[in-house]
Amino acid sequence: MIYDVSHKTIFRYSAPVAQSQHLVHMTPRAVDRQTVKGHTLLVEPAPTVRTEREDYYGNRVVMFDIEQEHRELIVHAKSTIAVSAPESIDLKASTPWDALAASVGNAKGKVDLSVVRYACGSKHTRSTIEIAAYARLSFAPGRPVLDAAWDLISRIYQDFTFDPTATDISTPVTQVLQQRRGVCQDFSHLALACLRAMHLPARYVSGYILTSPPPGVPRLAGADASHAWISVWSPEFGWVDFDPTNGLLPRDEHITIAYGRDYDDVSPISGILLGGSEHSVTVGVDVTPIS
């Protein structure tokens, strides 16, 4: 599949902003099964300084500084991306999870540090006794790691209700587990907290997903949204994607932008302002298949 993706964010401020600095994760990654055919990032007003680099996790980030007074900031990313479906794999052919966890925790183990770093907890994925207990229901001794991960993802999909009014990005994962409601970021953070409670490497993935309206209802411009899911590592298959929000293994309808330990590592836009007072944010995302 080839997609055109438009992601437009507009910040409006009740008072003038004298200066602002921002960090943007909106450049699609060139990863397995995904080719970036084109990408532009438009910023208004025009930045005084703009630089681009690769972060610790290999994501492309854009940093810019606006030094002219403004009451509105527009950040508009446009991308054309080709995505192919992964080959089918046998989840039960992966390494037993407890053997992998022991290898990850062994200083002399053979697991690369670039993988081990994703087994550590983070701000949004701290484990608790309750989270570990929920995870253990899927991790019987000797069970293949990817098969156990799929069972965990399926349980989250069945046990939790998608509710965009129930949480925000500051809602702790312990509350998500308690109330059994949330959005894709919450379900991804919960899955990661569970996997890391078992000392397994798993990472947070940000991107987009192709959505389809109900039969007879036209697609609305800007009605799509950013999406989040996770990847779990096994020695046999490398990183394998799982989507707890939709209860599936992503194929060619998921578009990867960035990955890290949790949402904070890959937030689409973050920054600091001098001035501005109150502000509002409008986000419009369109994912359009062109082939």
- Give the CATH number, domain containing residue 30: 2.60.40.2250
Q: Helix, strand, or coil here: 255?
A: strand
Q: Helix, strand, or coil here: 100?
A: helix
Mean pLDDT calculated for residue range 226-235: 95
**Residue 31 sits in the same domain as residue 118:** no
CA distance 255 to 239: 15
**Residue 260 sits in the same domain as residue 277:** no
Reply yes or no: is the peptide bond before residue 45 cis, omega within 30 of 0. Answer: yes
The DSSP string of 118-150 is GGS--TT----HHHHHHHHTT--TT-BHHHHHH
Q: What pLDDT digit, counting tens, does each position of 267-284 carry?
A: 999 999 999 999 999 999
Q: Are 76 and 6 in contact (CB under 8 A)?
A: yes
**Residue 144 sits in the same domain as residue 239:** yes
Quote the pTM value.
0.93
Q: In the block, which residue shows the tokens 């046999």?
A: 236
**Residue 114 sits in the same domain as residue 246:** yes
Measured in degrees and rounded to the nearest 5, phi and psi for residue 138 equal -100, -10
Read off the tokens for 255: 């578009």
pLDDT band at 219; cut points 50, 70, 90: low
**Residue 242 sits in the same domain as residue 280:** no
Helices first, then strands: H and E counts in the chain? 7, 13
Mean pLDDT calculated for residue range 50-55: 96
Mean pLDDT calculated for residue range 26-51: 95
CA distance 254 to 139: 27
197, containing H or E segment: helix 184-197
**Residue 279 sits in the same domain as residue 151:** no
Measured in degrees and rounded to the nearest 5, phi and psi for residue 119 equal -90, -5
Residue 222: per-residue pLDDT: 45
**Residue 209 sits in the same domain as residue 112:** yes
Read off the tokens for 139: 């991790």
Distances (CA, A) of 269 to 63, 233, 262: 10, 28, 15
**What is the total count of domains within the chain?**
2
**Residue 96 sits in the same domain as residue 155:** yes
CATH of the domain at 235: 3.10.620.30
Q: What pLDDT digit, counting tens, does each position of 109-159 carry?
A: 678 888 999 999 899 999 999 999 999 999 999 999 999 999 999 999 999
* Domain carrying residue 56: 2-84+267-289
**Residue 117 sits in the same domain as residue 241:** yes
Distances (CA, A) of 287 to 1, 2, 28, 210, 226: 12, 10, 13, 6, 10
**Residue 260 sits in the same domain as residue 279:** no
**Residue 124 sits in the same domain as residue 254:** yes
**Residue 109 sits in the same domain as residue 203:** yes
